[in-house]
Amino acid sequence: MPRLKVIGGNVLTGEVAASGAKNAVLPLLAATLMMDGHSTLTNVPNLMDVNIMIKMLNALGVRAEYHRGHVKVANLKKVRHIAPYELVTAMRASFFVAGPLVAKTGYAKVPLPGGCSIGSRPIDIHLKGFECLGITHKIEHGFVELRAKKIIGNTVYMDFPSVGATENVMMAASLGEGTTIIENAAREPEVWDVGQFLVGAGARIEGLGTSTIVIEGVPTLQGHEHPTISDRVEAGTLLIAAAMTKGDITVTHVVPEHLEPLLQKLKASGMEITVNETSIRARYVGVLKAVDIETQPFPGFPTDMQAQMMALQIIADGTSVVTENIFENRFMHAHELLRMGANIRIHNGAAYVTGVPRLSGAEVKITDLRAGAALILAGLAAEGETIVHGLQHLRRGYDDFPGKLRTLGAHIIE
Ligand code: EPZ
């Protein structure tokens, strides 16, 4: 199993660029299934999950290839309807192909996406949205079969502002007939980015970034070039590294307003934050105070930065209450941080984190992508060596994270 050795104690300083967003590029790639002709996605991060989605597209009949930060897709003939089992179960985001496939061909057979370590990850909101659009579904033998003679615009109320369900329904409705209104839609920047890609292909969508998205169906969509939005989670993780190591880091190629919830918390902690048009600087200027973290759908504090902020709280001054409202099992990193000397008590669904004066390096294991980032951050602040096992989780969603930390002065051996 691939692992990392992190030798703690270095102060991280310097400048580093954020990559394109994993949580945008995966649905963007799925959307190319609906677009005729050639599409090119730029600013694409080099991730295992991107490779899986590219394999998925090729298995469905389009020709997709990754080359130096670009993915070129040629959708020149009829796409196939059945998504391969081994790819969907390898990455649940493959379920994003469901909406595009049924919109494009009237039929899709997609394996039920598995749960993962952070939760059961149901798809009921996706299916309820599809039903509103006249897409029937049948679940058997571990597959979801979707059928629609034609997709009819309708009002879709999301019981929860699910990111994936908003993207899947928005994509399906783009090739429907008539008007679809998605109420209580997710407002995440990645949803906005998928909507922009669809609009550039000829879709008619209003309200992106708000909780009410209005889609006027069109008969066809035309492939085109689109830049993947910057990864706000990777950028936030790098800024937290400045706080953890009492350093001074500037992250470039970012959209600052997409990180506002995190910046507010870093400022409240006592970090000096400087924002320019496409860059953010986080500088340590004195003792960091504990801050409470409560995850919410965007524009609330993102669940994907909860683990990383918990890692900061374990060395902050005071006690922080960390509440995870999005996923039912996203505190596994806490058990690993305890092995490094953290003081965390989980009670009634919240984590009570009391800062400790020092952390000690230990052997730890990554359970999910963002937990992995949190453990590496803790290793940077710990005395001695931290051996981080389960690196494959990290490579799914971070583009050379250890390498970026090394450019900032981290002592990390792969
Ligand atoms: C996306 O997952 C992201 N993944 C996740 O990032 C992110 O944590 C999540 O949005 C929330 O922001 C991608 O975009 C590839 P949801 P998604 O549907 O779409 C429940 C990372 O680390 N729910 O908004 O699956 C669900 O169980 C990953 O980069 C239903 O109950 O998230 C969860 O509790 C992790 N029924 C909550 O909603 C449904 O049909 C939020 O899920 C769908 C979701």
* Distance from Cα 33 to the centre of ligand 1, integer Å: 22
| Distance separating alpha carbons of residues 73 and 310, to the nearest angstrom | 39
Annotated catalytic residue: which of 17, 74, 116, 321?
116
Buried b (16+ CB within 10 A) or exposed e, 316-342: beeebebebbbbeebbbbbebbbbbbb
217 by DSSP, 3-state: which? coil
Q: Whose CA is nearest to atom 38 of ligand 1?
A: 162
* Pocket-testing residue among 326, 328, 398, ligand 1, by greatest number of atoms within 8 A of Cβ: 326
| Distance separating alpha carbons of residues 29 and 37, to the nearest angstrom | 14
The fold for domain 3-19+230-413 equals UDP-n-acetylglucosamine1-carboxyvinyl-transferase; Chain (3.65.10)
* Distance from Cα 92 to the centre of ligand 1, integer Å: 10
* Any ligand 1 atom below 6 A from CB of 163: yes
**The pLDDT of residue 233:** 98
* Any ligand 1 atom below 6 A from CB of 124: yes
Q: Name the nearest CA neighbour of 256 among 237, 272, 239, 232.
A: 232
**The pLDDT of residue 295:** 98
* Distance from Cα 65 to the centre of ligand 1, integer Å: 27
**The pLDDT of residue 78:** 82
Buried b (16+ CB within 10 A) or exposed e, 67-76: eeeebbbebe
Amino acid, res. 236? G
* CATH number among 3.20.20.70, 3.10.105.10, 1.10.760.10, 3.65.10.10, domain 22-227: 3.65.10.10
**The pLDDT of residue 272:** 98
* Distance from Cα 304 to the centre of ligand 1, integer Å: 10
Q: Which residues pair with 252 in a beta bridge?
A: 17, 279
Helix ranges restricted to H, 184-256: 189-200, 232-244
* Pocket-testing residue among 121, 125, 157, ligand 1, by greatest number of atoms within 8 A of Cβ: 121
Q: Whose CA is nearest to atom 9 of ligand 1?
A: 163
* Contact assessment for residue 379 and residue 386, using Cβ atoms and an 8 Å cutoff: yes
| Distance separating alpha carbons of residues 199 and 197, to the nearest angstrom | 6
Q: Whose CA is nearest to atom 3 of ligand 1?
A: 23
Residue 116 bears catalytic tag: yes
Q: Whose CA is nearest to atom 16 of ligand 1?
A: 162
pLDDT along the chain (414 residues), means of 10: 92 98 97 97 96 93 95 89 78 89 94 79 94 96 92 98 98 98 98 98 98 98 98 98 98 98 98 98 97 98 98 98 95 96 95 97 94 97 97 91 98 95
* Distance from Cα 24 to the centre of ligand 1, integer Å: 13
* Distance from Cα 122 to the centre of ligand 1, integer Å: 9
* Any ligand 1 atom below 6 A from CB of 397: yes
Q: Which residues contact 311 (CB under 8 A, 6 or more apart)?
A: 240, 244, 333, 337, 374, 375, 377, 378, 381
Give CATH 3.65.10.10 domain extents, the chain: 3-19+230-413, 22-227
In 253-341, DSSP assigns E strands to: 272-275, 279-283, 293-294, 319-323
* Any ligand 1 atom below 6 A from CB of 29: no
**The pLDDT of residue 87:** 76
Q: Which residues contact 17 (CB under 8 A, 6 or more apart)?
A: 251, 252, 253
* Any ligand 1 atom below 6 A from CB of 327: yes
* Distance from Cα 10 to the centre of ligand 1, integer Å: 35
**The pLDDT of residue 115:** 65
Give the number of the atom of ligand 1 that is nearest the alpha carbon of residue 397. Answer: 29
Q: Name the nearest CA neighbour of 61 among 88, 94, 84.
A: 84
Q: Whose CA is nearest to atom 13 of ligand 1?
A: 23
Q: Whose CA is nearest to atom 14 of ligand 1?
A: 23
